Structure formats: C-alpha cells, structure tokens
Amino acid sequence: MNDKQIIPIHERGTRQVLAMIFLEGLAVFGVLVLLVTGLVLLLTPAGSWLATSLNWLFAADSQQLWWYVTRSAGIIAYLLLWLSTVWGLAVPSKIIAPLLDGGYTFDFHQFISLLSIAFALLHILVLTLDRYLPYSTLQILVPFLSPYRPLWVGIGVISFYTIALVTITFYLRKQIGMSAFRAIHVLSLLGYLGVTLHGLYAGTDSPLLAMQLIYRGTGLTVIFLTVYWLAFKYMLRQEEKKTIGQAKPASKPTSKSAVKAHIPAHQAANQRRKTR
C-alpha cells in the first residue's frame, strides 16, 4: 500500500471505525485476560513451580513487588501521555510537518493515547493486589478516598477520567461535530497537568533526581508547544481576517471623475454634442 492510499481514521466509514474499536478493545482485553490467567494459575497446584521460579527470578514473594509494578506502570503511562500531548500540539501547529507523513499522524496520536490508558489501568488495577498499601475498589474509583495522600491521588483519578473522555471522542468525531471535538480535546491539557501534579506529589519516586528531570523536561516541552500552538492559531486568524478584507468587493464610485469614467462611450459622445 502506498502513502496515497492511507486514509485517516476520522475519514473512514462507520464499519471500519467500529472494527478498529473492536480490535483495539480486544487487544486490551487480551492483556487483562493474560494477567488474570497468570494470577489464577499461581493459585493452582501446577502454579507452585511457576511461583517458585518467579520468586527466584524476581523476588515475587516480596511484600513490595506489586508496589514496584504499579510505580513502573505509572511512569510509563505518564511518558506515553506526555508523548500523546506533545503530538497533539505539534501536529496542528505544523512545527514538525516536514518530518511527518500526514496519513499516519492522527492514527499514531490515537494509538499512543490508548496505550497510555492501558498502562494507567495496569497502574490502577495492580493497587488492588498490593499487600504493602492495599486499595479497595471504591478508593480506586472515587476521587479523594485514598488512604495515601488523598488530594493528589484524587486529582490523578479525575485526570484519568478526563483523558479517557478525550480518547473516546476519537471515535465520536462525526457524531458530536468538529467544534465539540476540539473543545473536549482541549481538556487533555488539563488532564496532563493533573497527571503531572499527581506524579509529583503522590509518586514515591518524585524526590529522585531522575524523576525531577523527567517532570521538568516534559513539562517545559508541553508549555513551549502550548504557547507555540496558541501563537500559530493567532497568526492564522490574522491571515484569515486579511484575506476576508481583500476579498470584499470595491465600493461604488462617488466622485464625478469616477462617474464619468463609468459612462459608456456613446453616451459621452452625445453629451459632447449637446454642449456644442
């Protein structure tokens, strides 16, 4: 397939969009099934050998194992969300347009958004398995009920719901219209801000120099691209106003010389004869 045959997802038919939703949902569901199957297998007699092997390889009987898993998943989810946010700002502002193929940009943006949500779900679900600081389902789903730093964890929960809402609109673009799609999509910036605050003030790795550099570097990148995107939109509006002003028809002549210039030649000759 050549590049000219690539059709962005928002221009495809309803059946194709539904098929993509099904396949992507099936992939996420498959990952969750594998995770649950592995956990169930550990509870069976056949899983005793597997449990011993995992314990030998990864210290799986450690009380903090799942705590390490949820922290790792959270960091990966944050980096994927940052990449999705940066991509969503860079593409419409055309700052990297010469380096990109337009047929892939929208689909890639959607893919990394879904991947970010998948790792965020892993980050959340593993908390129910953690023995170091266990969470109930209610504490995970409802903001500000967390036993650990409820304010910043609650902001993280709200931010996750915001990002999920923005991602769902990828599939509802035709139904809700472009104006509503763009308005909802702006919420992704608030979602990213909330996730950043959640990571900074609720993440146990935040005091580390490496995480401080990650948060500062990613945050400054998003701020720069946001300012660039707003400036780009402003310049586009100014150009549109100039174009509209130049396209307006010229006003009708009012001066005598202009009126004479618009008199047909035979009428002008008749007027000269009368004056003689």
Q: How many domains does the chain have?
A: 2
Residue 163 lies in a domain: yes
In this structure, are 224 and 90 located in the same domain?
A: yes
Answer whether 0.85 is exceeded by the pTM: no
Residue 46 lies in a domain: no
Q: What is the pLDDT of residue 69?
A: 85
Q: What is the pLDDT of residue 177?
A: 87
pLDDT, tens digit, 9 for 90 and up, residues 184-222: 888 999 999 999 999 999 988 888 899 999 999 999 999
**In which residue ranges of the chain is pLDDT below 70?**
1-25, 28, 31, 38-39, 41-42, 46-47, 50-51, 54-63, 97-103, 247-276
Q: What is the pLDDT of residue 85?
A: 94
In this structure, are 218 and 158 located in the same domain?
A: yes
Residue 107 lies in a domain: yes
In this structure, are 27 and 120 located in the same domain?
A: no
Residue 259 lies in a domain: no
In this structure, are 99 and 31 located in the same domain?
A: no
Q: What is the pLDDT of residue 14?
A: 59
Residue 185 lies in a domain: yes
Q: What is the pLDDT of residue 267?
A: 56
In this structure, are 151 and 29 located in the same domain?
A: no
Residue 267 lies in a domain: no
What would the 3-class secondary structure string for the chain be? CCHHHCCCHHHCCHHHHHHHHHHHHHHHHHHHHHHHHHHHHHCCCCHHHHHHHHHHHHCCCCCCHHHHHHHHHHHHHHHHHHHHHHHHHHHHHCCCHHHCCHHHHHHHHHHHHHHHHHHHHHHHHHHHCCCCCCCCHHHHHCCCCCCCCHHHHHHHHHHHHHHHHHHHHHHCHHHHCHHHHHHHHHHHHHHHHHHHHHHHHHCCCCCCHHHHHHHHHHHHHHHHHHHHHHHHHHHHHHHHHHHHHHHCCCCCCCCHHHHHHCCCHHHHHHHHHHHC
In this structure, are 82 and 166 located in the same domain?
A: yes
Residue 260 lies in a domain: no
In this structure, are 241 and 204 located in the same domain?
A: yes
Query: What is the domain range of residue 203?
Result: 64-247
In this structure, are 77 and 32 located in the same domain?
A: no
